Structure 1
Amino acid sequence: MAYVPGVALLAALVVGCSAGSDSNANGADSKAGSPTVTPAPPGKYETLPAPCRAVPRGMLKDLLPGAAELPGDQQEKVFRGSASVTYDTDRKVGCDWKSDAPDSTRSLSIDFERVVSYDPSVSDDDRADTVYTKKEKAAGLSSSTPPGPDAEKDSGAPDEKEKGKGKGADEDTAKGAAGDATASSDGSADPSSSSSPSGKASGDGTDGTSEATGGGEGGSTDPEDVLPSRVLDNLGDAAFLHDAPTRAGSTAQHRTVSVVFRTSNVVVTVRYAEQPALITQVPDSGELQEKAQALARKLAETLSE
């Protein structure tokens, strides 16, 4: 019996040490800043639409004048389009169309790029925003108008209020764009091919000016009525329009309007171009801009369905 208190004391010490070890273990698990990483959320889109079927036939007839008058087999070939060569249709797809009318040649292309981030700390949407911002910067817009909601407000949507603001600055920008157009000869349709922040039509003293939407004959519309390259409102999560006048060869005029927008983790590019048959004709910038934007908004609606 003399040894019983000692045994009881030893048992109490063992229990106490065990409880202390559990307490420390639990404390370590509950410490703030433990190495638990929550992966960034995936993007909304896991697939891409079939690009050559993404544009309704009615819109194609409007965008490609003259195609509807072709014989049946030729008409179908034009409206069918040509799929872009790609090695991963889950990540990037595109389609091109072209029509030749007596007065001009029109070409249209659309590209869908689904961006995936392989960094668990960066979401697909954030990675797609980086891709989009690079395109916007290549179009010469980011340097003067940073992307984002505030930039969109500053740039203005294509409304009458903004048309009346800063006309003097627009005139200087238009003259610079015309000079760049005269110097360029590659006729590239990529928005990154021009560093000019404005694609607004401007006369060079010999070829007149570009028409606004619904303008009269002869391209006599005031060039100030045509909006330059700019950030766009209410199109996806972010969007911009790039209007690039160029010359194909030494005389023929060529104009490409590109609309690029991002919605979640997909970046979409629409390019719409016109080259008149006569060197005295000037592509209608207002019409090209209006139709390119209408198509971009239709594609945005299709993606969100």
Structure 2
Amino acid sequence: MAYVPGVALLAALVAGCSAGSDAGDPDADSKPGSPTVTAAPPGKYRTLPESCRAVPRSTLKDLLPGAADLSDEQQDKVYEGTAAVTYDTDRKVGCRWKSDGPDATRNLSIDFERVVSYDPAVSDDAGAREVYAKKEDAADLPTSAGVTPSGTTGASSSASSGSTPSGSPDGKTSTKPSADPSGSATDPGEDLRPRLLDGLGDAAFLDDSLTRAGSTAQHRTVSVVFRTSNVIVSVHYTAQPDSVTEVPDSKELQEKAQALARELDEALND
């Protein structure tokens, strides 16, 4: 019967096709004992707040005292703030305020940055930790008892417990304060140096810089930066007295900048 070999061949081809039909099955290549790659979890935050509305008006009145002497219309303009230029409001937003008082000028800025990792093996939180760590390193915080800001022991860096002048590209002189950076009477046990902060977000630090440009008045900028999950928040608060002999008070600026940072942290977690 000549047709039998052909039938047998056809049966073999059909069997072969059936055996290969698992090629499109996503589990077909899985082998017993092979590791399963699980994507890292996303960060807690998927959006950012509207930055120019993130600070309550009552807080702005305290931080920008010069605005109190303005007309209602002018006050409204000051408290509205100016949004920072950004091309992706889902990733980064900010706002700026300025108040010119009879004795001093105050500037306030806040920035929110939401970190998103596009590497499935790296979580958004891990990416944010890396971004925050770079900001902390750039602040060059003083060391204490041989412990670096990151928590590892080692030799003290150039930012020792005393004042640490450093030249900046614009020719201004910036000084890290000593334990009494304002020159006024303070609690001897109170440390006002740049430092790590406890109880604010997942990690936080404070920087304090006194700057003089030529013969103009000194201005002090206190910065508080903290990370909560995959969002990093930066607060910068500056005071510049009109008098060239007056030194902006470090303690006042630090207390107000920290208070605002804690307000923003609470608002993010509501």
TM range (shorter): 0.7 to 0.9
Tell me the residue number matched to 2:49: 49
Please state which structure has a larger fraction of its residues in helix: 1
Tell me the residue number matched to 1:10: none
Q: CA deviation at 1:263?
A: 0.2
Q: CA deviation at 1:141?
A: 2.9
Letter in 2 for 1:140: D
Q: Output aligned runs, 1:17-166, within 5 Å.
A: 29=30, 31-34=32-35, 36-141=36-141, 144-147=147-150, 151=151
Letter in 2 for 1:262: R
Tell me the residue number matched to 2:222: 257
Q: CA deviation at 1:296?
A: 0.3
Tell me the residue number matched to 2:241: 276
Q: CA deviation at 1:68?
A: 1.9
1:141 and 1:113 map into 2 onto residues whose CA distance is 22
Counterpart check, 1:173 vs 2:138? no
When normalised by structure 2's length, the TM-score is 0.78
- CA RMSD in angstroms, aligned pairs only: 2.9
Counterpart check, 1:300 vs 2:265? yes
8 Å contact kept, 2:204–2:224? yes
8 Å contact kept, 1:258–1:271? yes
In structure 2, the CA distance between the partners of 1:220 and 1:255, relative to structure 1 (3 Å rule), is same
In structure 2, the CA distance between the partners of 1:184 and 1:97, relative to structure 1 (3 Å rule), is same
2:100 and 2:88 map into 1 onto residues whose CA distance is 31
Q: CA deviation at 1:292?
A: 0.3
2:55 and 2:236 map into 1 onto residues whose CA distance is 13
2:223 and 2:30 map into 1 onto residues whose CA distance is 54
Q: Percent identity?
A: 63
Secondary structure at the aligned position of 1:86 is classed as coil
1:58 and 1:296 map into 2 onto residues whose CA distance is 15
Q: CA deviation at 1:201?
A: 6.6
8 Å contact kept, 1:141–1:230? yes
In structure 2, the CA distance between the partners of 1:140 and 1:89, relative to structure 1 (3 Å rule), is same
1:187 and 1:257 map into 2 onto residues whose CA distance is 20
Deviations 1:78-118 (A, max 9, x none): 10000000000000000000101111110000000000000
Deviations 1:5-25 (A, max 9, x none): xxxxxxxxxxxxxxxxxxxxx
Deviations 1:227-262 (A, max 9, x none): 100010010000000011111333411100000000
Query: Structure 1: 5+ residue runs without aligned partners?
Result: 1-25, 155-171, 203-208, 212-218
When normalised by structure 1's length, the TM-score is 0.70
Please state which structure has a larger fraction of its residues in strand: 2
Secondary structure at the aligned position of 2:132 is classed as helix
Letter in 1 for 2:32: K
Q: Output aligned runs, 1:225-264, within 5 Å.
A: 225-264=190-229
8 Å contact kept, 1:210–1:223? no
Q: CA deviation at 1:173?
A: 3.0
Letter in 2 for 1:117: S
Q: CA deviation at 1:276?
A: 0.6
8 Å contact kept, 1:91–1:113? yes
In structure 2, the CA distance between the partners of 1:201 and 1:102, relative to structure 1 (3 Å rule), is farther
8 Å contact kept, 1:199–1:242? no
Secondary structure at the aligned position of 2:260 is classed as helix
8 Å contact kept, 1:51–1:94? yes
